[in-house]
Amino acid sequence: MLTPFRLLRSRLPRLLLLCSPLLCLLQLAAAPALGQVVPSGPLQADPGRAGYVPSATLKAQYRTAALNLPFFDDFTTPREGNPDPRNWLPSGGAFVSNRLAPLPPTRGAATLDGLRTNGQSYSGLITSPNGVLDSLTSQPVNLANLGLNDQVYLSFAWQAGSVASVPGSGTPSNPVRLELFVKTNTGAWESKWFYNAVRQRTGFRQQVIDLNQAKYLHGNFQFMFVASGNASDNSDNFSVDYVLLDRGRTRGLTDTTYTDVATGAGLAGGLPTGGLRSPLRRFTSMPVWQYNAASPPTSELNPRLGVNVSNLSGTASPLSVDVLGTVRDLTTGTNLGPWLQTSTLVAGNSRQSPITGSAATQPLPVSATPKRFRYTLALNSRETIPRTLANDTIFRDVELNNYYAYDDGTAENITNLLPYPNGPQSAFAYRFDLNQPDFVRGLRLVPVFTASDAASRQVTISVWGDKNGLPDENKVLASKTYTMPAAYPAGWQYFQFDFDQPVPVSGSFYVGFSQPSTGRTLHYGLDLNSTFPARHFFRRDNASVWDTANFQPSGAVQRGALMMRPVMTNNVATATTSAAEAAAFAIYPNPAHGPVRVAGPAFARAAVLDAVGRVVWLQPAAEAGQPLLALPTLPPGVYLVRFTLADGRTVSQRLLLE
């Protein structure tokens, strides 16, 4: 049961997630007839973080000798994951990314929230009291042999809230707080600074800490950020950026500006996080043959590709920088050329300036093979301090393969269909406008499993035709019902559900899913750093009425994309392969005792099925398509190795394990 405190800090989307079916219906009835706002709320689990659990190798990088000054980290490395173990202890749950903190000083920030390193909540409950959440602890730093006149200061930028949530407020015994502790020469952790949240998202603010006391100037000095708040989900967020500990900072507590121009996140007039925007105009990914069929193909590229740039100098004078944007074909290793090449002035004081160019300036090759491109934007700001050079470069990859996507593959929030007590099932659907006729092979979804989600889920995927800009209930092209397991395939963040046979589509079509009225709100991943074209996302109510939908109130900047991706076949009308195609594959050794190799054509992914057709191993995403199958230890017996081709068809080969 929710306490009065929890009820007070809940917002409308949060209430929609927690309400009873009848109350949800009443709330939706009060909404406008057109343009429904779909409920969304904080994550209780993040499947995308599971791959970042510190390994034994990472933990082994714990330092045996203290760091020397200066200590600096602006979290440009890694691009996403655990904080750099050369600077920080490899534990604590803080998450480095460029997708949670709005408008950070430089690309990347360390976010402390209510999710552990493995992406699960701290309490494992739907609701729980506030508690201690993530922490971020420095490696030991040698401050020995420094005196009180050495001007030793620690500075950092901090932010309350994130793109996902506005933090709540607590009580003295149950705070929502970011706190800094420092280790004294007795080994005790001393609280040096804290901020109590007041239900407001803040911008980044600079804090400088005076360490010119003998108890801090020792050879095993450490500092630690600790977040407290809601232990059930990621609604209480704090971020830290641009951490600098050094001597000789003669400006003392006013030392808050730096000679540094850096790439940041988001783009003025659009979304405040997410780094470089998508190089594609309509999507974050699309089938390679659909890109090639556009007239011309460059019309699918983003005419305003770019990112915000930060001027941290603290002066009113603009700074001159040279900007170079380039494209590299990661599939072939070929540098294609520049999409942006200019010199510009980065405004002073305001600190945030957009730099953009047209991705269409550099055409992409139109060959039929799947490919991945890396778009890079680099600044030449003529800086002389090496530690700030890394933040001058930012990149984003885009894939042309066999699927459409409006999302970027990461979830910052959740959404759900309302579980109506009667009538037809509610449904979500995306609209896709084809450049040429095609077939839909299946649909990828990102369910977010929560503490109340132990039971299996049933989901129905469907394809609809078009009726005056809405899904046509009288033209359901295909439907298929699945019961999904309560765990992801190894290395993947989504489930792919296939139709019995590929579904032919042309012009505009709609694809989505529905769920039965189970009385549960079943959560799915919502990407807050991407969006979709107007009138391309729809919701069906329990009267079978479709309406446009979005994730923001009317008048707000539309942000949010449901993580739902149709897989296409390039007009291949069958899910099976010919005997000749199957014979082109060979597995060796066979019989085998462990890992095996594959000889034959390229494939997208491999899976191993047991004698009754259950998947017992799925090739991890990082190894997808590689010819070496690193099979785990499996019981002896006869298995099938199933290869999924780029067009969605499958090939199977028999494998005997001894």
DSSP sequence for 194-240 = EEE--S-----EEEEEE--STTT-STTB-EEEEEEEESSSS-S-EEE
Pair of tokens at residue 372: 């991945």
What's the CA gap between 85 and 110, in Å, rounded? 13
Averages of pLDDT over each 10 residues, the chain, 658 residues: 30 35 35 67 86 70 81 95 92 94 95 92 85 96 95 98 91 91 97 96 96 97 97 94 97 91 89 92 97 97 95 85 96 95 86 92 94 96 89 96 95 88 88 97 90 75 96 95 76 82 96 82 92 95 91 74 95 77 86 88 86 80 86 88 82 88
Q: Is the peptide bond before 90 cis (omega within 30 degrees of 0)?
A: no
For residue 299, give the DSSP letter. Answer: G
In contact, 394 and 107? CB cutoff 8 Å: yes
Q: With contact defined as beta carbons under 8 Å apart, do 459 and 515 qualify?
A: yes
Which pLDDT value is given to residue 60? 65
State the pLDDT at residue 531.
93
> In the β-sheet with 371-380, what is the strand arrangement from edge to edge?
285-287, 393-401, 371-380, 319-329, 334-346
Q: Measuring CA to CA, how many Å separate 259 from each of 153, 238, 277, 312? A: 18, 26, 26, 6
What pTM does this model have? 0.86
Query: Rounded CA gap, 329 and 87, in Å?
Result: 33
Q: Concatenated DSSP letters for 596-616?
A: EEEESS--SEEEEE-TTS-EE
Is 76 in contact with 391 (CB distance < 8 Å)?
Answer: yes
Question: What are the residues whose beta carbons fall under 8 Å from the beta carbon of 188, sequence distance 6 or more?
Answer: none
The label of the residue with tokens 């309302």 reads 418
Could you please report the per-residue DSSP string of 309-345?
EEE-S--SS-EEEEEEEEEEETTTTEEEEEEEEEEEE
Exposure of 166 by Cβ count < 10 A (0-12 exposed, 13-18 middle, 19+ buried)? middle
CA distance 607 to 629: 9
* Separation between Cα atoms, residue 240 and residue 599, nearest integer Å: 49
Judged by DSSP in three states, 595 sits in coil
Is the Cα dihedral 376, 377, 382, 387 positive or negative? Answer: negative
- What is the rounded distance in angstroms from the CA atom of residue 45 to the CA atom of residue 234? 8
Radius of gyration of the chain (CA): 26
Q: Determine the Cα–Cα distance for residues 108 and 101; give it in Å rounded to an integer.
A: 8
Integer Cα distance of 227 and 135 in angstroms: 6
Report yes or no: 152 and 211 within 8 Å, Cβ to Cβ. yes
Kindly provide the b/e burial profile for residues 417-439, where b requires at least 16 CB atoms within 10 angstroms of the residue's own CB. Answer: bbbbeeeebbbbbbbbebbeebb
Q: Would you state the pLDDT for residue 330?
A: 92
Distance (Å, whole) CA 658 – CA 4: 61
Residue 44 has, within 13 A of its CA and on its CB side, a CA count of 23
Q: Torsions phi, psi of 221, nearest 5?
A: -70, 140
Distance CA(536)–CA(271), nearest Å, equals 18
- List all residues 6 or more positions away from 203 whose beta carbon is below 8 Å from its beta carbon: 102, 103, 159
Q: Which single residue is written with the structure tokens 């995306």?
A: 430
Cβ atoms of 398 and 373 closer than 8 Å: yes
Q: CA 538 to CA 514: how far, in whole Å?
A: 12
Rounded Cα–Cα distance for residues 354 and 348 (Å): 13
Residues 205, 157 contacting (CB under 8 angstroms): yes
What gap in Å lies between CA 38 and CA 43, rounded to an integer? 15
Cα–Cα distances in Å, from 179 out to 13, 159, 227?
Answer: 29, 12, 6
In the block, residue with structure tokens 């792919």: 496
Q: CA-to-CA distance for 187 and 220, rounded, in angstroms?
A: 9
Q: How far apart are CA 644 and CA 625, in angstroms?
A: 9
